[in-house]
Amino acid sequence: MLEMQLRADGFHASCGHGNCRDIRLTDRIQAKASASRGTPPADDEADGRRQRSSRSREQIVHAMIELIRAGEMQPSAARVAEKANVGLRTVFRHFEEMDTLNREISAIVEAEILPLVEKPFEGKTWRIQMDELLERRAHIYERVMPLKIAGSLQRFRSPFLMEDYNRFLRMERQGLKRVLPAKFMNDPVLFAAIEMATGFQAWRRLRQDQRLPVAEALKVLRFTVERLVGGK
């Protein structure tokens, strides 16, 4: 998501326009200052660096998620650095490859939604379970919608985001198969219609394009499914 902005901000991965010499000089001065204060044991110093690096990485990932959820679909590297309270060079150092950042964001989002996806249904009949599934999807889609939209802007340029998109489709399909009777899955046209009507893209259209409140959008999903399955 930062890939285009790296160029727009006028920075390379390691430094800005013509500033490499100044950065190297600054690094040497800092190194001499550290040496004059005394050098801590190598192992302790390495552990401290790793811990700081890990904290910075987490801050950057969470900053990116927060900015996207706040409505910035393609936040600049500078905005991410500001939100994460780290230097711009730190953002570039950790995430020269955008798919590395995308993977970490995906892992965090998946950890949020998987408990609800995998939670056993309470209803005894498939119709009650289908209603539970739609309600869960409403909650999940609200959580992932900004991130899914941001990802869709780039998935045709990112092998990881394209695979992540297809994996989400497979997860949606498996969710329906957990609930629906075999007679619906054996009817390819009907199953495809149900899948389309209950998928993320339908939810995005209802919420973003038609600007329906969550409760109204959920009613539309339930109405559509009921009309599709009828008295079957």
CA atoms within 13 A on the CB side of 143: 17
Q: Give the Å distances, CA to CA, from 6 to 41, 97, 203, 209, 232.
A: 37, 11, 32, 30, 54
pLDDT of 21 over the 50 cut: no
Q: What is the pLDDT of residue 231?
A: 66
Q: What is the pLDDT of residue 193?
A: 97
Banded model confidence at residue 232, pLDDT cuts 50, 70, 90:
low
Token reading at 159: 């092998």
Q: What is the pLDDT of residue 38?
A: 53
Q: Which residue is it, tokens 């599934």?
A: 133
Count other C-beta atoms under 10 Å from residue 94's C-beta.
21
Q: What is the pLDDT of residue 191?
A: 97
pLDDT tens-digit readout, 135-180: 999 999 999 999 999 988 888 888 999 999 999 999 999 999 999 9
**Burial of residue 80, with CB atoms counted within 10 A of its CB: 0-12 exposed, 13-18 middle, 19 or more buried:** buried
Distance CA 63, CA 82 (A): 9
Helical ranges in 71-125 per DSSP H: 77-84, 88-94, 98-118
Give Cα 124 distance to the centre of its chain: 33
The mean pLDDT of the chain is 82
pLDDT tens-digit readout, 96-131: 777 888 889 999 999 999 999 999 999 999 999 999
Banded model confidence at residue 19, pLDDT cuts 50, 70, 90:
very low
Distance CA 82, CA 206 (A): 33
pLDDT tens-digit readout, 47-61: 667 777 788 889 999
* Closest CA relative to residue 2, chosen from 43, 49, 63: 63
Positive or negative torsion for Cα 6, 7, 10, 13: positive
Q: What is the pLDDT of residue 79?
A: 93
Any residues with CB less than 8 A from the CB of 139 and at least 6 apart, and which? 116
Q: What is the pLDDT of residue 39?
A: 53
pLDDT of 12 over the 60 cut: no
Distance CA 179, CA 130 (A): 6
Read off the pTM.
Answer: 0.72
